[in-house]
Structure 1
């Protein structure tokens, strides 16, 4: 099994190792739901101080809840609404130190205080977003942002539109 927490190195090196673990985990599997499920489980195992890790998938001009780890969540998010909808609209990663200060934040879990959302692009088209919440303010650093973008870049190679 994947023992990411046993890898000791800088946070950047840990994210590189995590992305390699993801590739090994997904190699040969073509089912998107299975791959997203394992990706969310792997991240949930790797990351500390998070309370929700999962995916929203772009369908019919809105984001729809996909595989995740955490409490039940909002099912549909319109483009431009909240952090996830803003990322879907702009197709750029967004790291929010305090979600309560984000205009139009959608509070699915009142315990969440910070969030990072990374767009997933497959064949030059928005596929969805990776959404991670933390109960701590300012949980996600620039290193986390770059590491999670690397993780999504790896994941994109195993998703089909």
Structure 2
């Protein structure tokens, strides 16, 4: 039985714990929607000072809203548009300290101030992106980026 342990260690140890938890949570399950739903719920429960955690999935050369936690969101994002579309097009993580300074930012939730987007790449194919927003400016740092990229690496084999 999957059980959420308490996150009361260093940030790095807490991230290692949540990565261990996602692997245990997804073990033996191959349904992409179920796995992305649980991944977004786990991250939303784990991360503090965030207001949106979810996935956009590639479909017909654009990103389409997938499982998420937070307020209703934009449904379709063209490649190269906004933080998600840019991350997908460039196939690299983008960390934005102040979304209002990002050219072409798409404001789905007016409360969002900073954002991190990590591409989901499996066997060289872009599957989509993990998108996390915060109501605080400069919420995400290098440790968040490194560990969220590790989280995505643990998740991708189950997609």
- When normalised by structure 2's length, the TM-score is 0.97
The aligned length equals 158
Instruction: Give 1:27-38 correspondences, 5 Å limit.
Output: 27-38=27-38
Q: Distance in 2 between matches of 1:81 and 1:155?
A: 25
Match of 2:57 in 1: 57
Match of 2:3 in 1: 2
Q: Are the counterparts in 1 of residues 4 and 21 from structure 2 also a CA contact under 8 Å? A: no
- When normalised by structure 1's length, the TM-score is 0.96
Which ranges of structure 2 fall in alignment gaps of 5 or more residues?
A: none
Is residue 129 from structure 1 mapped to residue 124 from structure 2 by the alignment?
no
Q: Distance in 1 between matches of 2:149 and 2:78?
A: 23
Q: Distance in 2 between matches of 1:80 and 1:12?
A: 32
Which ranges of structure 1 fall in alignment gaps of 5 or more residues?
A: none
Equivalent position SS for 1:105? coil
What is the Cα-based RMSD across aligned positions, in Å?
A: 0.9
The alpha carbon displacement at 1:129 in A equals 0.1
Instruction: Give 1:131-150 correspondences, 5 Å limit.
Output: 131-150=131-150
Task: Kindly provide the CA deviation profile for residues 59-83 of structure 1, in whole angstroms up to 9, marking residues without a partner as x.
Answer: 1000000000000000000000000
